[in-house]
Structure 1
């Protein structure tokens, strides 16, 4: 998500807020010792914190993440926990909003969490980094994947999801595989979207493709005829929309009405059944997406899906598996570290080698991103509007 950023937030303001919070985090309640609940001691439950969107435009993803994490916790607890201590999940709504996320992160610290397994929108996750860092709380982020998260170079930040650079590489790979010679990029100027579009444009140029358009739109509007006309006039073989499904569905529709007939590729922020609903019938035949695999796309995931449905009473969705994996990864690191000490857990995370996750073997690179992005190409099932696996980009 990852993806992701607050709707009205711009990359510059987010980075500035993150820097400012380094100065203010130490003044927030409970930051020095991670709370007084006892979860940071050698006994009692081990509290894991999760920030996710349960309100706002991206609220559909919050329960997927929470339930995925809870399923992993239930499995670990059923197996004896960590050195006999049970895990507990503390959840706070960040609304994909930076200000809300800061308050929610401080609440988790005050509540005594010893690790964070949340983070969906990059713009909302970014300003929480210095808060958790000041409190010596490691973060294993399941969804948010902007390169800005990596650029902070904080010791306790690890990304389960592939980065924007890796996602852009998958888009370029598909463009080449499909025979595209000319491409376009369109973003909404938010941290995640701009980062992904810029990376795609640069990698496309490096691969010998011609970038006809690199446009920016304002999110939250209803009329995108200007960019639709621009795409129709340039006639690129493939356009990569890197924002969210609300605007993406409208741009896909209006671009087709304007005469654009190429491939409309979207980033993971738009991979949701609501895209087809917004675009409308007859406007999604040329729509594809770059995404990490969802449970229904994974081989041998039938039991996991059944267990999730038993817990949640609903089918799993995007980032449920990544949140499940985040908990498993943190738990493994704590077992290796024989406790919840920040330095020990960070060292254990850095030392993971081909650790088994639903998304495949996990090894963290020196910059704390996962080796290989795991992105695939998905298309829209016309009968349901859901995105389904089209090309795993292997071979």
Structure 2
């Protein structure tokens, strides 16, 4: 999605927010419960519960529920319990706008959701008008940062940081010619274009082609033909797992023998399932996952015991998002949005899975923490920590 279109969507979202918030608690709906200092402190989480990325939603919700339960078991925050309210964004801008307005009218005081960047972007003005800080655990398009909004904080590596990690691995593998493939969403195109700019610098691998596909199709043969015509020895897919699995399978079926890498939106066992045998050996740029966290065995066991299955992508970030919200509210001594934002900006050394936290002036992590995973026997495993 281009910047001009995103700006239009965000302007529309802000207008929708103004109209719909009046049907509930008003633009400051997120503050109405905070003023009396009674009742639960309500956190809101927008995640995909339907649509092509719905498999990610339960991971993030479960992790957030686990953090809420643990914090409440220790007395809550400011003598009050935490409560989590969840809404579906379906990785779709229109659905996300409706979900954000729903959470505002339900009185959430901090947002701890955001998986798909294209769905998260139009919610920024809605939460901003309602004076609700946003701690975004997964969505990481650089366009989220480029809005320069005071209430927005990212605890996942940015698109710029992911492109840098991709370039490091492409170079380390000795690639000569790279095909960059995206799905035209904000997140996917952002990473592909930023990687292309790095490849365009003299003295290294070159970008053979920047290919855009249409999401939710079943046949990508035309795109595959365009890619193969350029004879790349490395393909980097920056979109999501459903299309990624098909593209990987169709690349191999068409005779492509070179390396394939995917972005963090494709890190799911479902990608390996869709790709089948063609998925073996596929690399991925990804921030920390539960499988690659050192010393997190106890946390993984607690999660698995509670929910009956192992944690997946973005569970640790979603868990940390709730913990960070609680820490900021505690430090602020209130749930007022401006005070919580100031407390988030003042965080220095708060321990998260990604390490001690101190936000940059842009409200991002000082280092993206990206690593390289590889598919082995249908599962993503650590290949290189890029350190």
**Normalized against structure 2, the TM-score is what?**
0.94
Q: How many Å apart are 1:341 and its aligned residue?
A: 1.4
Contact 2:89 2:99 (C-alpha < 8 Å) held by counterparts:
yes
In 1: Cα distance, 2:35 partner to 2:365 partner: 27
| Partner Cα distance (2:127, 2:233) in 1 | 44
* Number of the residue aligned with 1:315: 310
Q: Distance in 2 between matches of 1:203 and 1:355?
A: 33
Aligned-pair CA distance for 1:198? 0.2
**Residue in 2 aligned with 1:4?**
none
In structure 1, the residue matched to 2:198 is 203
Question: Could you state the TM-score of these two structures normalised by the residue count of structure 1?
Answer: 0.93
**Deviation per residue, 1:265-285 (Å, 9 max, x gap):** 10111111111221222x123
Paired residues, number: 383
SS at match of 2:200: helix
Q: List aligned pairs for 1:38-53, cutoff 5 A.
A: 38-53=33-48
Structure 2 alignment gaps of length 5 or more: none
Match of 1:242 in 2: 238
Deviation at residue 22 of structure 1 after TM alignment: 2.4
What does 1:163-312 correspond to in 2, within 5 Å? 163-206=158-201, 208-281=204-277, 283-312=278-307
- Shifted more, 118-127 versus 27-36: the winner is 27-36
Q: Which residue of structure 2 aligns with residue 391 of structure 1?
A: 384
Say whether the 8 Å CA contact 2:34–2:336 is kept in structure 1. Answer: no
Report what 1:17 is aligned to.
Answer: 9
Q: Post-superposition shift, 1:129?
A: 0.7
Task: Pick the aligned partner of 2:125 from 130, 154, 158.
Answer: 130
Q: Which residue of 2 aligns with 1:3?
A: none
Distance in 2 of aligned mates of 1:61 and 1:37: 31
Question: Does the CA contact (< 8 Å) of 1:14 and 1:98 recur in 2?
Answer: no
Alpha-carbon spacing, 1:37–1:348, altered in 2? closer, same or farther (3 Å): closer
Distance (whole Å) between structure 2 residues aligned to residue 149 and residue 260 of structure 1: 35
Give a deviation string over 1:167-206, Cα, whole Å, max 9, x none.
1111001011112222120111111111110011112223
Relative distance call for 1:278 and 1:11 in structure 2 (3 A) is: farther
Distance in 2, matches of 1:279 and 1:176, equals: 25
Q: Which moved more, 1:248-257 or 1:154-163?
A: 248-257
Q: RMSD of the TM alignment (CA)?
A: 1.7
Moved over 3 A (4+): 9-15
Q: Is the 8 A contact 2:242 2:271 kept in 1?
A: yes
CA separation of 1:36/1:228 partners in 2, compared to 1, >3 Å: closer, same or farther?
Answer: closer
1:59 aligns to what? 54
In structure 2, the residue corresponding to 1:76 is in which secondary structure?
Answer: helix
